[in-house]
Amino acid sequence: MAAVLLPNQIQINDDGRVHLGAPVPTPSASVEAPVPESTSPPLTRDAVDEVMRTAISAAGLDPAQGRPTVAADAAANRTGWMAARELATVQAEMNAICADLERQGWTLNPNGDRPNPTDSRSYRRGGWYLLVHTRGKAQAPSTPSALTDSQTYLTLTGLQLDVSAIPLPAVTVRVG
């Protein structure tokens, strides 16, 4: 009945999907399609560790002044680094690290970040995800914190994820 009364508001695509509302706009030739992430060559944990050291150094920090958050022989798909930093300078240091990650070809992950980009930023490349973030005493590791009130932790966390290995539930929609 609705299709008879409002023929411009209900459309069935070639693939059988029903669209309600105004006509579906056709993509403009000037609109760029998203570029899929390159997966070759795959990155190793050692390569990601080097990326992190380079970005930390580009921010004017000494990677040796921080500490790894994952032991080198603990996992091939996780890595990390953290250091206590002054609240007054940590945002500039975080920005410099992020700028260097982008220079090295890491892609900002716009869907994975919190609404406030000063809290954290995540990047992806070659199956790896890097999270650059700060965390204070309340979120510090369970060991007693050596942070003063004017400090926070600057942390880089790297995870290699194979999302194709994550099982997704089957969803069936029946019309009619």
Q: Digits of tens for pLDDT over the chain (176 positions)?
A: 444 444 555 566 666 566 555 555 554 444 444 445 554 577 999 999 999 999 999 999 999 999 999 988 888 899 999 999 999 999 999 999 999 999 999 999 866 555 555 678 999 998 899 999 988 765 545 555 678 889 999 999 999 987 666 676 766 666 76
Q: Is the pTM of the predicted complex or chain greater than 0.85? A: no
Q: What is the pLDDT of residue 117?
A: 57
Query: How would CATH label the architecture of 45-162?
Result: 2-Layer Sandwich (3.30)
- Biggest CA–CA distance in the chain, Å, is 71
Q: Which residue, chain included where needed, has tokens 């006509």?
A: 23
Provide the pLDDT for residue 176: 62
| Residue boundaries of the structural domains of the chain | 45-162
Distance CA 110, CA 103 (A): 17
Go through the chain and tell me how many residues it has. 176
Looking at the chain, list the stretches that DSSP marks H as alpha helix, in order from N- to C-terminal side. 2-5, 45-58, 87-103
Question: For position 135, what pLDDT does the model report?
Answer: 82
Q: Which of 29, 24, 27 is nearest to 10 (CA)?
A: 24
> Residue 35: its pLDDT value, please?
47
